[in-house]
């Protein structure tokens, strides 16, 4: 009887140890999330770690900048995710900034003379400034809204950042 009680105590103690321990298979893997500016410059969002299976929301580009381009989203695995989209982290992942070339619509104001059609131009490309006609006047060239005379051809550059 004494041996039976001792065996019962050992069995209960052994069960408590087994029940109280977490097996290695139950532990969740930690994954690293990082951000790469691509060909942009500036500081990308800080990387962080999460448990495998966590869902994250893709952040803004913060201070990233690529001259002549606008931030378009974050790419990983051939898929582009936009700001605010959710992504389930299943392993270490690096999101690379994606950029889209800027384009502008150039509108001409003939200031009383003929006004040519608007033109859409991509940043860095040149446009040929068209002449206009106006009875009894000589065309003297095109000027920007700021009063600066435009050259021909005019190279479109990014306006100053606000």
The pLDDT tens digits for 121-148 are 888 888 778 878 888 888 777 887 788 8
Residues 6+ apart with CB under 8 A from 112: 134
pLDDT-above-90 percentage for the chain: 44
Q: With beta carbons less than 8 A apart as the criterion, state whether 41 and 68 touch.
A: no
Q: Where do the domains of the chain lie, and which CATH numbers do they carry?
A: 27-101 (2.60.40), 102-162 (no CATH)
* pLDDT at site 116: 83
Q: Predicted confidence band at 54 (pLDDT cuts at 50, 70, 90)?
A: very high
* pLDDT at site 102: 92
Please give the model's pTM, rounded to 2 decimal places. Answer: 0.64
Q: Check whether 64 has a pLDDT greater than 90.
A: yes
| Average pLDDT for the chain | 79
């Amino acid at each position: 009887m004494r041996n039976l009680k001792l065996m019962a105590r050992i069995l209960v103690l052994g069960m408590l140890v087994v029940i109280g321990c977490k097996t290695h298979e139950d532990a969740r893997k930690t994954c690293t999330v990082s951000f790469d500016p691509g060909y942009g410059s500036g500081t990308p969002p800080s990387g962080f770690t999460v448990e495998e299976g966590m869902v994250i929301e893709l952040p803004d580009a913060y201070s990233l900048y690529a001259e002549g381009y606008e931030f378009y989203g974050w790419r990983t695995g051939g898929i582009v995710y936009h700001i605010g989209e959710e992504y389930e982290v299943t392993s270490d992942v690096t999101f690379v900034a994606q950029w889209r070339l800027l384009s502008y619509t150039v509108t001409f104001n003939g200031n009383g003379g003929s006004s040519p059609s608007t033109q859409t131009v991509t940043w860095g490309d040149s446009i040929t400034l068209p002449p206009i006609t106006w009875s009894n006047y000589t065309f003297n060239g095109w000027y920007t809204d700021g009063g600066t005379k435009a050259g021909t051809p005019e190279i479109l550059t990014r306006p100053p950042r606000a």
